[in-house]
A and B are shown apart, each in its own frame.
Chain A
Amino acid sequence: MMSKATDSRTNVPFAINAYTKEQLKEALRKMYLIRKFEEGAEDCYMRGLIHGTMHLSIGQEASAVGSCMALEESDQITSTHRGHAHCVAKGAEVSRMFAEFFGKETGYCKGRGGSMHIADVAKGNLGANGIVAGGIPIAVGAALTAKRLNTGKVVICFFGDGANNEGAFHESLNMAAVWKLPVVFVCENNQYGMSTSIERSTAVSQIATRAIAYDIPGFTVDGNDLSSVAEAVSEASSRAKSGKGPSLIECMTYRWRGHSKSDRNRYRTKEEIEDWKKKDPILRFGEVLKDHKVITDEEMKQLETDVDKEIVAAIEFAQSSPSPSLDEVTRDVYTEIDQ
């Protein structure tokens, strides 16, 4: 278990050396897009335009974007109930995500899934999940496919700290290790399940140490530092692609908002939340890019303004899209077969 934020000789963050300026700017743009998508979704929810519930990952953007940065477009991910960031990071369009939240036929799940099932299968996102740890075995299955069919793909399996106490987590890590499957387990440790802290629910203080039980590499990284996440995940992904099997990466982070839309926040202190807000992963990455002359203040402003416009247009697209037809409620329960 170790942290490796920078190249110690040059003091240059991994990401700066590993990616082009365009890629780095795109990573920053995606972080803005995630933040503003979620703020937009929250606002629509408050105004009664979106129903149900949602789990916001505001404050956790670096782990999603840093992880997906290490992937090819054809690589795959499985996501969680807190899955908006993963979806955007893997290349989804926010217009179709909003359309899904508005329950429209143009949404990624044709209005059947909503926030908790957001997916973009074409871009390799096999879906968020309403079941904690539900995506973990699915990711291992996708990795089995990659290995058997020799597709060269790697699968990133996102899950939270709470999920590490489900049997599915342990069974999956064991199988992935035994069969040396190309999967990277990325635990987004925001230190709480819904209200239950790691200390009160988990026998180990760092989830990366669970890797020892399955004899696979385990690392804890600063999950609010995009470069650290990208470094750990690209290494694990190369390892997986070369046939050496899975790794477990734990990204330490924090959600700024409540667990879902019905959280009275009785289990965390205001001070704790405020402290973490000072570690804003977007501001931090922006600073890194400026320090290394990847981007100027003006360019950053421009990125933000463009993202603002994209969000407004996406919400308009969602609102003006058609609703599903009521007589198609049982469509897609089964695959239609031409007889």
Chain B
Amino acid sequence: MSSAPVQSAEQDSVEMSYAEAIRDALDIALGEDERVVLMGEDIGVYGGAFQVTGDLVNKYGEDRVMDTPISELGGAGVAVGAAATGLRPIFEFQFSDFAMLAMEQICNQAAKMRYMLGGEVSVPVVMRFPAGSGTGAAAQHSQSLEAWFGHVPGLKVVQPATPYDAKGLILAALDDPDPVMIFEHKILYKQKGLVPKGRYTVPLHKAEIRRAGADITIVASSIMVHRSLEAAELLFDKGVSAEVIDLKSIRPIDKQTIIESVVKTNKLICVYEGVKTLGIGAEISALVAESAAFDYLDAPILRLGAADCPVPYNPELEKASVPQVENIYQQALALCRREL
């Protein structure tokens, strides 16, 4: 197994959780740039619904770690306006689901302002979205909406899968002059990994091969990277060598990494947590079908995404509605054995 050597090579690394890695990034950002402010609901004394901001308010004060009223449209819009005029706001939605209340300011304003004004302004706003299912919080607190945002020119959309990427992508997002949407996975917040001390960035547009393989390409994002790596391990026991690509960014998508992999393995499965229909997998399938890799395909392209329904409350139903390790393993095996 050849996971990418991103972490072990770094010298001054410490083990921390995904949530701690994000907090570390926010701490660095607040510490080095007076223009950075955090905004969001209950991110101050409460420390954030998922304890991401933690005690930062004690270090930087309420003027820079700002609890907003429960006003997503206004709050996100204030962040957009502040970003366009000189601040560097990092806006936290308490759950990504509530960003729907702010779609106007994100999609009509932040995403289009630079273009509409002929390139005269940029909107360097960073928005953070705790996303995904698996917490039993049902239909309005469990969605994976990243593809919605991926459909909007003007936004950049990333989905870190590891603590290392979570920190590096936030700092890269802050350096970026345009609006960057960061979809964090709630279930990953407690997951630990090695994270370098101090500042570093992870490119906003690059996918990464997490496990090299020869027989099938699994393109996954966020928590599905971990499930795909587990499935790859099971496949390995069956003599199937799977290559697992961590997308990291869904806008832009790193086409080259995907195409090169498919040319090598001749088979492709896309695994994502958003609803399968009209989702990330459709885009990846199409970009491969439109590319030179098409001639290398030995089997149909498969998509594994969430069922065509809201996320249910019952835990068994909830599990059944999104791809699990077993589904990825079975589908990949069937594809390799031409049993589909």
Q: CB within 8 Å of B: which residues of A?
A: 51-53, 100, 103-104, 109, 111-114, 116-117, 129-134, 162-163, 165-168, 193-196, 200-202, 262-264, 266-267, 323-324, 326, 329-330, 333
Residues in A neighbouring B307, C-beta threshold 8 A: 329-330
| Complexed CA–CA distance, A225 and B298 (Å) | 73
Interface of B is mostly: loop
Residue B200, interface by CB 8 Å = no
* A134 cross-chain contacts in B, Cβ below 8 A: 140
Would B41 and A196 count as touching, CB distance under 8 A?
Answer: yes
The 7 closest A-B pairs by CB, nearest first: A52-B136, A130-B140, A114-B313, A103-B314, A195-B46, A165-B69, A201-B69
Q: Which residue of B lies closest to A133 (CB)?
A: B70
Q: A168-B101, A194-B94 are in contact. List 8 more A-B contacts (CB 8 A).
A: A114-B137, A130-B138, A131-B98, A162-B70, A193-B41, A200-B67, A323-B314, A329-B317
Q: Does A194 lie within 8 Å of B41, measured CB to CB?
A: yes
List, in ascending order, chain B residues with CB within 8 A of A202's CB: 69
Residues of B within 8 A of A53 (CB): 135-137
State in angstroms the CA–CA spacing of A129 and B136 once bound together. Answer: 15
| Contact among A116, A132, A264 with B137 in the assembled complex (CB-CB below 8 Å) | A116
| B187 part of interface (Cβ distance < 8 Å) | no
Chain B contacts for A330, CB-based, 8 A: 307-309
Q: Is the Cβ of A116 less than 8 Å from the Cβ of B138?
A: yes
Contact indicator B313/A165 (Cβ below 8 Å):
no
B122 at the interface (CB under 8 A from A): no
> Shortest Cβ distance from A144 into chain B, in angstroms?
22
Docked-complex contact A324 and B46, CB < 8 angstroms = no
Residue numbers of B with Cβ under 8 A of A are: 41-42, 44-47, 49, 67-74, 94, 97-98, 101, 135-141, 307-310, 312-317, 320-321
DSSP class of A's interface residues: helix, strand, loop or mixed?
loop
Residue in contact with A111 in the complex, picked from B41, B42, B74, B314, CB distance below 8 Å: B314
Question: What residues of chain A lie closer than 8 Å to B45, measured between beta carbons?
Answer: 195, 266-267
**Cα distance A132–B97 in the bound complex, in angstroms:** 11
Q: How far is the CA of A129 from the CA of B97 in the complex (A)?
A: 13
Instruction: Provide the bound-state CA to CA distance between A196 and B65, in Å.
Output: 13
A167 to B68, CA, bound (A): 14
- Closest A residue by C-beta to B73: A167
Contact B46 A266 (CB under 8 A): yes
Q: In the complex the two chains form, is B309's CB within 8 Å of A130's CB?
A: no
A163 to B308, CA, bound (A): 30
Q: Which residues of B contact A109 (CB under 8 A)?
A: 313
Complex Cα–Cα for A313 and B133 (A): 32
Smallest beta-carbon distance A107→chain B, Å:
9
User: Which residues does chain B contribute within 8 Å of A51, judged by CB atoms?
Assistant: 136, 315
A112 x B71 contact (CB < 8 A): no
A258 and B162 alpha carbons, distance in the complex (Å): 31
Task: Say yes or no: A103 contacts B138, CB within 8 Å.
Answer: no
Cβ-defined contact, A196 with B312, below 8 A: no
Q: How far is the CA of A202 from the CA of B141 in the complex (A)?
A: 25
A-B contact pairs, 26 of them (CB 8 A): A51-B136, A52-B313, A53-B137, A104-B314, A112-B314, A113-B313, A114-B136, A117-B139, A130-B97, A162-B70, A163-B70, A166-B71, A193-B70, A194-B41, A194-B42, A194-B46, A196-B44, A201-B68, A201-B69, A264-B46, A266-B46, A267-B46, A323-B316, A330-B307, A330-B308, A333-B310
B138 touches A52 (CB 8 A): yes
- Residues of A within 8 Å of B321, CB to CB, are 329
**Residues of A close to B317: CB separation below 8 A:** 103, 111-112, 324, 326, 329
Residue from B70, B312, B314 having most chain A Cβ neighbours under 10 A:
B314
